[in-house]
Amino acid sequence: MILHSVYLRLPQGTDRTELETVMTGLKQLCKDMVGCAGFQHGPNRDFEGKSHGYSYGFIAQFRDRDALATYAENPEHKALGGRLVSLCDGGADGIVVYDIEVVG
């Protein structure tokens, strides 16, 4: 399993309606795709104070690398990703991605 973990650095005053629309779109896309086992999103509470401005994130669970690659190349994903980039502080530089291969 691959955990596709995405962290967003959103500026003060981010359009929360647009953010929710993008998250809803990504969640639906994942729901409709073979090999996607789930999608969760929400605000980062940063209880340890180590997130350095990354105030929101999501995690999508994929069966394997091929399923993640199919998602990444999907035209709807690319369109939603572009909208997400436009919301982030610094554009694409305001997004951190970890693709964690679950081994245990």
In residues, how long is the chain? 104
Tell me the residue type at 60.
Answer: A
pLDDT of residue 104: 84
> Residue 12 has which token pair?
């003060």
pLDDT of residue 69: 98
Cα 89 → chain centroid: 15
pLDDT tens figures, 60-99: 999 999 999 999 999 999 999 999 999 999 999 999 999 9
Name the E strands within the chain.
Answer: 2-8, 36-43, 56-62, 95-101
